[in-house]
Structure 1
């Protein structure tokens, strides 16, 4: 299932990661683990925020995906099922 994960990062924890140079490595490791089809990095409601869209093949992977963000960055995590245009068109075609 395609999902979008939103990670709102704790400012103090990520400040420390940036100061000690570990932030790029942590982000790279997350990208290698998740294999997102897209990723975005921004500020949302005053917090450093990351969005990843990826295929979650089994919900049992949720802890392995989220725990590094919780433990290393003090993140708040949300998972949301999402569709791309092809998914939407298939879903709408089934309504007929």
Structure 2
């Protein structure tokens, strides 16, 4: 059950709920894999859990890179404006 929640949340993380969906996908994916490892005869869905983890972590990584690019771009832009004000 948690593996399916992880996969669905991972998909939601890429569409409607980027932050919440990705975090839920990561948490439930780890919980699901832990349950599956403890009792492999009782639980299935390791592939769903891994897919949810991959989607969640990929979205977190892309969001982090996007924020870094945004900060660097606007930081560089602010530096150029400040330099123009000093020189001009």
Task: Work out whether the TM-score is over 0.5.
Answer: no
- Using structure 2 for the length normalisation, give the TM-score: 0.30
Structure in which a larger fraction of residues adopt helix: 2
Structure in which a larger fraction of residues adopt strand: 1
The higher-RCO structure (CA 8 Å, 6+ apart) is 1
Determine which structure has more spread, i.e. the larger CA radius of gyration. Answer: 2
